[in-house]
């Protein structure tokens, strides 16, 4: 549609309706728009427009069997997408929507299989970010949107990250500043006999189990196995990785040996651990005492590794509980080597 990507800057809390309408027109005309959500930036297209959806896959260089999340602005749009009785979803919808939780349902026939990676299920989320909500509402259609980055790269938490990866490939980029949460949504599969976590995210296991006590955690989320095929975004393939390799050290007893093996590598760690690495270059992730700062900074930190003059970076493992369970899920997928 355009030779160069339009950059549309907005106030993230009170976005200009003129800008939103301009972006919505692009969506209506089979275009692609990158936009901020409370999690990361998404690369959006009309979910019922097969040509536009295929363009999203082409832009990202995304494997065609890796399903997309469909973003909605109200529950009426959910009825256009979902075949299931929503009774068992009601506690999760009432607690976490709008917000950073994606739910997987059996899809209606009109949802293109290009969106679902050939599956008979569809992943749906109602974002809380004012820009995302308005864009979907004014576009008048649910918007299919994976993260607005090249596949495999760290997800984008600012418009600059989108520009770095996708400028000139997408029709428009809405610049709404940095995203507040910094991790992709939690994904829960409700199409099975029991609710199953497929991707941890900003809504933690502990929070979800207050609503759904029988939430199942598959072995692959604990690093014990690999799924047979992607049932949701972020399940398979190497994700979130900088161009330079990273070594993730989970067993602290092996850390000294790794430091000796890579004497020039920068250390990626929380602020509280910095004193343990005197004389080494450090990249601070955030604070263990404020774990959401680590989540918010994670992809910015991973992208920054490529700017450091070193062949490899060492990342110190974190306690796998609360939001840090979600952070460690991303780090395991980003790592070239995991030592545990």
pLDDT tens figures, 214-234:
999 998 887 665 666 556 665
- Flag whether pLDDT at 320 surpasses 70: yes
Q: Is the pLDDT of residue 1 over 50?
A: no
CA dist 20 and 98 (Å) reads: 19
Distance CA(264)–CA(135), nearest Å, equals 46
| Residue 157 to residue 226: CA distance in whole angstroms | 27
Q: How far is 320 from 247, CA to CA, in rounded Å?
A: 17
Q: What is the pLDDT of residue 241?
A: 87
Q: How far apart are CA 289 and CA 339, in angstroms?
A: 25
* Of 146, 334, 147, residue with least CA distance to 243: 334
Above 90 in pLDDT, residue 329? Answer: yes
pLDDT score recorded for residue 49? 98
pTM of the model: 0.94
Strand partners, 164: none
What pLDDT does 96 receive? Answer: 98
Closest by CA position to 212, among listed 121, 84, 85, 93: 93
- What is the residue-averaged pLDDT of the chain? 94
- Phi, psi for 35 (deg, rounded to 5): -145, 155
Averaged pLDDT for residues 233-245: 74
Q: Write out pLDDT tens, residues 7-66.
A: 999 999 999 999 999 999 999 999 999 999 999 999 999 999 999 999 999 999 999 999
All structural domains of the chain: 6-222 (3.90.870.10), 246-339 (3.40.50.11030)
- The mean per-residue pLDDT over the stretch 147-165 comes to 96
Contacts of 81 (CB under 8 A, 6+ apart): 47, 70, 72, 105, 107, 108, 111, 122, 124, 142
pLDDT digits (tens, 9 = 90+) for 263-289: 999 999 999 999 999 999 999 999 999
């Amino acid at each position: 549609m355009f030779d160069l990507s339009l950059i549309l800057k907005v106030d993230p809390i009170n976005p200009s309706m003129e800008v939103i309408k301009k972006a919505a027109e692009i969506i209506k005309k089979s275009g692609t728009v990158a936009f901020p959500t409370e999690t990361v930036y998404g690369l959006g297209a009309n979910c019922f427009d097969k040509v536009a959806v295929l363009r999203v896959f082409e832009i990202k260089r995304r494997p065609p069997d890796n399903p997309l999340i469909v973003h909605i602005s109200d529950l009426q749009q959910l009825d256009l997408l979902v075949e299931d009785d929503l009774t068992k979803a009601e506690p999760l919808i009432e607690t976490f929507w709008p917000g950073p939780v994606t739910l997987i349902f059996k899809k209606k026939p009109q949802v293109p299989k290009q969106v679902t990676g050939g599956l008979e299920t569809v992943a749906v989320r109602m974002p809380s970010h004012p820009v995302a909500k308005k864009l979907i509402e004014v576009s008048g259609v649910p918007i299919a949107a994976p993260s607005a980055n090249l596949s495999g790269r760290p997800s984008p938490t600012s418009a600059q990250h989108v520009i770095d990866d996708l400028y000139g490939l997408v029709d428009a980029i809405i610049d709404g500043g940095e995203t507040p949460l910094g991790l992709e949504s939690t994904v829960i599969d409700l199409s099975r006999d029991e609710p199953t976590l497929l991707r941890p995210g900003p809504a933690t296991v502990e929070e979800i189990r207050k609503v759904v006590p029988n939430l199942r955690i598959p072995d692959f989320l604990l690093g014990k196995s690999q799924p047979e095929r992607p049932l949701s975004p972020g399940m398979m393939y190497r994700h979130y990785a900088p161009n330079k390799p990273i070594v993730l050290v989970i067993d602290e007893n092996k850390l000294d040996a790794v430091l000796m093996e890579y004497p020039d590598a920068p250390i990626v760690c929380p602020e509280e651990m910095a004193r343990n690495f005197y004389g080494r270059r450090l990249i601070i992730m955030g604070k263990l005492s404020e774990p959401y700062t680590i989540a918010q900074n994670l992809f910015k930190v991973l992208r920054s590794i490529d700017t450091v003059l070193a062949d490899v970076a060492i990342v110190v493992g974190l306690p796998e509980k609360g939001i840090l369970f979600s952070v460690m899920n991303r780090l395991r997928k980003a790592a070239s080597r995991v030592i545990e």
